[in-house]
């Protein structure tokens, strides 16, 4: 089960989502369906800027012939509730004002984290990375990220797709 994560700074758009894409159905089962109509089933969890969830899946068209069509089901938080979700900073500031420390790290947890991260940072500083796949500001990342997915016959879903 391949699992891909892409993150970056200064990408063309501020966009956070989780896409779970399932394998394509065997074409032989749907030989009467045009190949472009055999889309992969996907669950898309939109985290920001447009919070919601979407399901994209294939369904049999009504009738005696097995023929598939694409179905989209979308839930958008703002459209449904008529209210924009508050930002994480608004929530943190509110928790500070009310004295709720639930979402904050304790000092001992921060120190334990630095004990793990500091040796890694020391090695990175001592031995600079060779052939680090960097990318230009305003792009979707290094070409190596695209090549990684292409090896498996996949591609990234950019917000412009």
Residue 78 contacts residue 50 (beta carbons within 8 Å): yes
pTM score: 0.65
In the prediction, which pLDDT does 8 show? Answer: 85
pLDDT tens-digit profile of 20-46? 888 776 655 656 556 555 677 889 998
In a domain, 86, yes or no: yes
- pLDDT value of residue 111: 96
Q: Does 28 fall in a domain?
A: yes
Number of domains in the chain: 1
Q: Please indicate, yes or no, if residue 41 is contained in any of the structural domains.
A: yes
Calpha distance 13→115 (Å, rounded): 34
Answer yes or no: are the C-beta atoms of 21 and 42 closer than 8 Å: yes
More confident residue, 93 or 154: 93
31 compared with 75, residue with greater pLDDT: 75
10, part of any domain: no
> Does 5 map to a domain?
no
CATH number of the domain that residue 107 is part of? 3.30.360.10
Q: Looking up tokens 């005696």, which residue turns up?
A: 64
Q: Residue 2 domain-assigned? A: no
Are the C-beta atoms of 75 and 81 separated by less than 8 Å?
A: no
pLDDT score, position 158 = 79
Residue 143 scores a pLDDT above 60: yes
Rounded distance between C-alpha atoms, residue 11 and residue 157, angstroms: 13
Residue percentage of the chain with pLDDT more than 90: 27
Q: How many Å from the N-terminal Cα to the C-terminal Cα in the chain?
A: 24
What pLDDT score was predicted for residue 35?
58
Does 159 fall in a domain? no
- Domain containing 125 equals 16-150
Share of the chain above pLDDT 70, in %: 89
Q: Is 3 domain-assigned?
A: no
């Amino acid at each position: 089960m391949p699992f891909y994560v892409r993150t970056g700074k200064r990408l063309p758009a501020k966009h956070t989502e989780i896409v779970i894409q399932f394998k394509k159905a065997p074409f032989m089962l749907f030989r009467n369906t045009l190949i472009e109509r055999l889309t992969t089933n996907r669950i898309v969890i939109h985290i920001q800027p447009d919070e919601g969830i979407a399901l994209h899946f294939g369904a049999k068209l009504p009738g005696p012939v097995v023929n598939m069509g694409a179905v989209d089901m979308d839930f958008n938080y703002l459209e449904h509730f008529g209210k924009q979700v508050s930002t994480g900073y608004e929530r943190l500031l509110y928790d500070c004002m009310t004295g709720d420390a639930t979402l904050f790290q304790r000092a001992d947890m921060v120190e334990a984290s630095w004990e793990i991260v500091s040796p890694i940072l020391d090695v990175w500083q001592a031995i600079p990375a060779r052939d680090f796949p960097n990318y230009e500001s305003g792009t979707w990342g290094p070409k190596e990220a695209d090549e990684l997915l292409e090896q498996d016959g996949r591609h990234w879903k950019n917000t412009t797709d």
